[in-house]
Structure 1
Amino acid sequence: MPQAPRWPAVPRADGDLVWSAVSGGVAAGRAEVRRLGSGAYSRRKSRGPAAGVWGMGSTKASWHRPLAAALPSRLGLRQLLRDRAARGVMHRVMPVWCRAELDGAMTDAESPYYAAYEDRYRSVYAQGVEYWCAFPEELKELATDVRDLVAEAQLPPGAHVVEFGCGEGYVGELLAASGYRYTGLDVAASAVAKARRRLAPYGQLATVLVGDALDPHVLPGGAFDAAVDARCLHMLVVDADRQAYLRNAFRALKPGARMLLSLQLHRGHGPAFAVRSYEHWLKLAGEGYGRPERRVAWQDGRKVKVWVPSIAARGQSAREYAEELRAVGFAVLHWREAMGGACVSLLAAKPGPG
C-alpha cells in the first residue's frame, strides 16, 4: 500500500515560510517574505529533516534544494511566487548556490493555476498507478456520453473529433477504434505521454498535443466535426478562463457541430457566484491547494489508495453550465445527471448555416 509522503516536520512557527509553502498558506508566506527584506539572517545549507524543500524559519534562514517528488511544496511556491515583490525579496536573501532553482520555480509561478494537474499525474504515476482515470463506473458513464454524442451528431466514419483536456486518452481510444479521426489536447505533458502510448496502435487516426485550451491559436478554426470535454471545464475556476475556453471550443468547431460536456462536477444547490481571479477563488475556497490528500485510484482490477496534491475545481448546476455554453453561442440540446447526481453531462450544438 502506498505510504504517505514524508513531508518535512516543520514547526508552525509564526511566519514560517516552509510551512506556508508546503501547506499552501500563501498569504502567511508572502507576509514573511516581505519581512525578510529588512532583516539580517544567517544562511546555511540544511541537511536536516527539512532537506528537500525550500525553507526559511522565522528566526534564521535555511534554504533547501527542492526534491522533484516534493510536489505540494512546489505547488505552494508556485502560488507564493505570483507576488512579484515576494519574488524579489526571496532572490536577494537566497544564497547564490540555489538561485537557479528559484529561477526555475519562478518560471513555474508564471504557469496558469490549472497547469498544476501535471503535478497530480506525476504523483500518481510515481506511486505505481498506470492510469489516474480508470474507475470502471466512470469509464462506463463516459462511454455512454460518447456514444450519445456520436449518435446525436450522426458522425460518419472518418469524422474529426477534438477532445479538450484529453488526459490519458480513454476517449481517444473509443473514437479511434470506431474509425473516427481524433485530436486530443491537454496541458499536462505526463498525461499526454500516456495518451500517445495508448493510441499508438491507431497510427495517424489519433493525434495528441500538449497545449492550453485557453490559447486561441492552439487549434485551427472551423476544423472539427465534434468536441468532447470530459471533466475539463470544471478544472477552470475563474469566470474569464471558462469563457475563454468555451469561445475557443466554439471557434474550433464547424457550423452544426456538437460539443459534449461529460461528467462535470455538479453543484446542485446554492446561489450562483462570480470568480474574478484565482486569488479571488482562494479567498472564497481557502488556500489549501497543494496539500497532500488521500484519494483512491484503480489499478490491476482493485482500488488502491494514493496521495496526491489537492487541486482547484469548480462545479456548477446544470442551469449554470447551460448558461455558460449559451453565452458563447452554443445551443444546449439536453443534459443528464450522472454518478448518482455528483456529475452532470450536457450536449450542445454550434448553430449551422442559415
Structure 2
Amino acid sequence: MRNYVKLFPVVCFLLIYNGTTAQSTPSDQQLLINDMLLVADNFAAPGAEGAAIQSSAGWFSSASAMDEWTIEFSVHGNALFIPKSKQNKVSSNSDFSILTLQGGSNALLPTVFGGDSDAVFEGSIFGQNFSFDAIEGLDKKVLIHPFPQVTVGLPYGTEIAARYLPSIIINDVGFSTYGIGLKHNFTQYYERRFNPEDFQFAAVVTYSNFKVDYAFIPVDIQIAELNRIDVNANLWLAQLMGSKLYDTFEVFGAVGVTNSNFDYEMGGSGPGLGLLNESLTAIGGNEAKFKGDIGFNYYFDNFKVSTMFTAGSLFNANIGLHYRIK
C-alpha cells in the first residue's frame, strides 16, 4: 500500500502550477486529474466491494425472535474469497487521455487484492515528462476479518445487535469497525399459536462503519508532506430472512441489498494537502449491490454455532460462536 502515494505527487505537481504557467490549459489539467482518479478507482473498487460484503455478514442467523431481554454474546470470523477477476484489471492506453503505459498499449494491473507489477505509467504536461509505478496490491486470495457482537432480545419480536472492533495495527495498516442492526419477526402476526419449529420470517436493517489507515514513510512533495491515507466507509444493509428449526438444527436464508459510501483522505501537513484531498472526493459516492445468504445453526445448551455463506459480487463465509444468557 505504500506505493499508493506514488500517484499523488503528479496530482500535486499539477496543482502547484495551476494559474502560474501558460504551458497548459485548464482542460489538460482536468484530463490528467481524471486519469489519476481512474487509476485509483480501478485499484480500490474491488476492496470497496469486499468491505460491503464482509460488513453485511453475520448480523443475524435466524429469523425467529429471542426471548425478551435475552443477551447473546458472539465472536465471528469472516473469510472473503478473492477470485482472479478481482485481483487484476486490464488497462489500456485508450482508457486515458494523458497517461500511457510504458512499453506497450495495455497491461494487467493489480487491484488492492493483487500482487506486484512491473507496469509503469508515463505522461507529459506543462512541457515536462513524468512517470510512476503502477500501484501494487496486498497479494491476498483470502481476507480474514474477526469481530465480536452483542445481541439483545427486545419486546414485540425485535432484536438489536451491536458490533465493535477497536483500532488495531497490522503491518503498518490500522483498521477499526463498529455497527448496529435491528431485526423484526413477522411470523408472530399470522401464527395464532407459537411453535418454535414453525417457519420464521423476519426483516433486517443494519448500519456499519469501518475505518482503515494506511501508513507509509513520509513523502515530501514540496507543497505537502504525506504520511498516510485514510479510508472511511459507511455501509447499509436491508434484507428479508427466513429460517426453519429442526430440533437442534436450523436452516436459514436471506436476500437483501447493500449500499456503501467511501471517503478517502490523505494525511500529513502542508498548504497543498487540502487541494489534494478535494480531488480525492471524486472516487467516493454511493453504490448498491444485491446479495444472498444461506447457512445453518446448531444449538446445544446455551450455545449456538452458526455458519453463513454469502454470495454477491464476491463470496464470503462467516462462522460464529454464540452464548445466550436468559
TM-score, length-scaled by structure 2 = 0.25
Indicate the structure whose relative CO is greater, using CA pairs within 8 Å and at least 6 residues apart. Answer: 2
Higher strand proportion: 2
Pair member with larger Rg: 2
TM-score, length-scaled by structure 1 = 0.24
